[in-house]
Chains A and B, each alone.
Chain A
């Protein structure tokens, strides 16, 4: 076996973070196909008119569909999603990217915006679950 700079399990040691991988990308393929379909105005209109009917066109899992309906971005990321696909959904809703991102934290959109204006979330204490630094 070749030596690596670090074991890949280390990717799971970053607090509050899920690293997007080829495996996740595959699991979320149909979810992502749905997200990218929202790059066309006619599809955005169809989705807004009847979300469930529109979602039925895609071979997504029921969990993924429910998380879309709930706009539960943390859950969508757990189910393989990547934020750059998911913002197509929040853009369709007219949300700012900041509002979409803030919805994954324990802050309200206003609290999150205030945190960012104050310099953002510090790296200290947020680097490693194991080291607690």
Chain B
């Protein structure tokens, strides 16, 4: 039987990808950012997950123009890194798990989540930067990935509570999969940041740190945060944090916090990272 063994959250700042790829991980600006992910890199070598359900948002690379799905699940055998305007990241192709992803799609629609199914999709930094943070620069990614793209850019995004409910349904769907799979669920993006207008550069460490705390002991509070409150408190792009709630809800009622990291800034963004184990 498939089982969810951990949930991980990580920011997906594009500059982290660029600086990872350009070998700048040791310079004064980036060193503390990459140091924050050393623990998880070592830990992942022991955990050896088979597949990651990776909640992320597409940044106008494959979605957002002609189609704007609220939730889109990737069923392809492989997903190529997208060219975001400066050439595709030189990272390995991302391999999917069509059998497992088809099962998830089936179960989630039966559970009344009307997903969009993606049979072809390129993936951008939103998905590949977290892979780099977890696994460094391997020849091939050591996991299969089921991409779950969430609309966090065009209002109204799904609510945080809706994301929570999707995470709960994912837990049931994984449990119902007969194959023995070690599954992780990742929520990416965040934490506070705003990339537009005169208010750009907004960072709210009080909001971010309370959010990190409440992932363990205040999930009802997190579920009630409105879209407006995310945007006021954490910036228009800080609303990406709703994707962390999919991850958290998939872990069940209680979790043990294994690791946490928070750092300001990476480019325009407050970097947050947490590793949780269902308990």
Contact = CB atoms under 8 A, between A and B. Distances in A.
B265 A120 contact: yes
Contacts of B61: 36, 39
A91 B268 contact: no
B77 interface: no
Contacts of B198: 15-16, 74, 104-106
B21 interface: no
Contacts of A35: 60
A41 interface: yes
Contact of A29 (B65, B153, B270): B65
A5 to B, nearest CB: 5
Interface string B209-241: 000000000000000001010011100110000
A89 B85 contact: yes
A71 interface: no
Interface in B230-261: 231-233, 236-237
Given A15-B199, A116-B201, A120-B203, A98 B264 contact: no
19 contacts: A5-B228, A14-B236, A16-B198, A16-B200, A17-B196, A17-B231, A18-B197, A19-B231, A39-B85, A83-B237, A98-B15, A98-B267, A98-B268, A105-B201, A116-B267, A119-B265, A120-B264, A120-B265, A127-B233
Contacts, number: 162
A38 interface: yes
A57 interface: no
B267 A87 contact: no
Contacts of B111: none
B194 interface: yes
B238 to A, nearest CB: 10
A21 interface: yes
Interface string B75-89: 000000011111100
Q: Among A11, A89, A101, find the residue whose CB has the most chain B CB atoms closer than 10 A.
A: A101
B232 A14 contact: yes
A117 B265 CA distance: 6
Contacts of A119: 203, 205, 264-265
B79 to A, nearest CB: 15
A18 B153 CA distance: 12
Given A88-B84, A91-B86, A97-B14, A121 B201 contact: yes
A68 interface: no
Contacts of B194: 17, 121
Given A83-B196, A84-B64, A101-B196, A120 B155 contact: no
A116 B115 CA distance: 37
Q: Among B14, B87, B197, B237, find the residue whose CB has the most chain A CB atoms closer than 10 A.
A: B197
A82 B197 contact: no
B195 A97 contact: yes
Given A25-B154, A120-B264, A17 B83 contact: no
B183 interface: no
B43 interface: no
B71 to A, nearest CB: 17
Q: Among B82, B195, B196, B236, find the residue whose CB has the most chain A CB atoms closer than 10 A.
A: B196
Nearest to A107: B201
Contact of A97 (B15, B202, B228): B15
B25 interface: no
Contacts of A54: none
Given A85-B64, A97-B15, A16 B197 contact: yes
Interface string A25-57: 100010011011011110010000000000000
Contacts of B15: 96-98
